[in-house]
Amino acid sequence: MPIRSDYHVHSSFSGDSDAPMEAMIHKAAGLGLEQLCFTEHMDFEYPISESTPEGLFEVDTTAYQEKFREMHTAQQKLPRLLYGIELGLQAHLAPRLTAYVSGNSFDFIIGSSHICHGKDPYVGTFWEGKDVEDACREYFSSIIENLESFTDFDVYGHLDYVIRYAPDKDMGYCYEKYRDLFDQIIDLLLEKGIGLEVNTGGIGYGLRNLHPCNEILKRYRRLGGDIVTVGSDAHRPEDLCRGFDLAEHVLKDCGFTHYAVFACRTPHFIKL
């Protein structure tokens, strides 16, 4: 059965999208999606620059919730709409993230690492003066720090996001090179009951694999992990469900028989 649930979607409530929520829903309906989960950005303390004003990636939660309720009430047909959030994780933000989550009733929460020790790998300064492997190790180590500090979310999003922006992309990148760190991450995910997101957005960056790479997915499955969601990371209607055929193939090849959808933070499983 084709994957018909997109669980990583942004609209104009995210600072890096201009897409009206209505446009995303209309496109999703045309694609025959059964579920569409909005996951707007909430990145507290994203570094300020000339191109990134303060608060750019902090969703106006009240306005987002009101618009979502309006759309949810008006939606008479599929897709079913879910109210989600993508939290930007940084270890020192744990108390603030805890308070934010406890004050809202989300269907689904992605935890993502956009910032590593004050810098986004998207910005070239993250890589300046660093060996690429050392920079990636710093990023993956920060994921461990995040998981040891805060775990009130449902899946870890685009786990190897850093590779999108590495000087040589994913050439030379593999699970074995960072096995010591990845195994710690997977152990923590399993211990905390947190799943993995299969993020197809890497297709737009010319990567060989989706996020995370196939070897990580295989390792997670081999160790007993079974909570995987699929998200396009779409910021435009035309990017919804991009790469979902490939995601289905990858999941099956990695040993998964189901993928997860969520409601009220509770996973439900759909057969592949």
What averages of pLDDT result for each successive group of 10 residues across the chain (272 residues)? 93 98 97 97 93 92 98 92 98 98 98 97 94 97 98 98 95 96 98 98 90 98 98 98 97 98 98 96
C-alpha to C-alpha distances, 145 to 94, 120, 142, 148, nearest whole angstrom: 11, 16, 5, 5
Q: Which residue's structure tokens are 């295989």?
A: 218
> Residue 154 carries which DSSP code?
S
Number of domains in the chain: 1
Among 102, 114, 111, 107, residue whose Cα is nearest residue 37: 107
What CATH number does residue 237 fall under?
Answer: 3.20.20.140
pLDDT confidence of residue 206? 87
pLDDT confidence of residue 49? 85
pLDDT confidence of residue 218? 98
Among 235, 236, 233, 228, residue whose Cα is nearest residue 262: 228
Tabulate helix, strand, coil % of the chain (nearest 5): 40, 20, 40
pLDDT confidence of residue 210? 96
Q: Which domain holds residue 20?
A: 5-271
Q: Report the alpha-carbon distance of residue 208 to residue 80 in Å, rounded.
A: 32
Q: Report the alpha-carbon distance of residue 14 to residue 194 in Å, rounded.
A: 24
3-class SS of residue 244: helix
pLDDT confidence of residue 76? 83
Burial class of 58 by CB neighbour count within 10 A (0 to 12, 13 to 18, 19+): middle
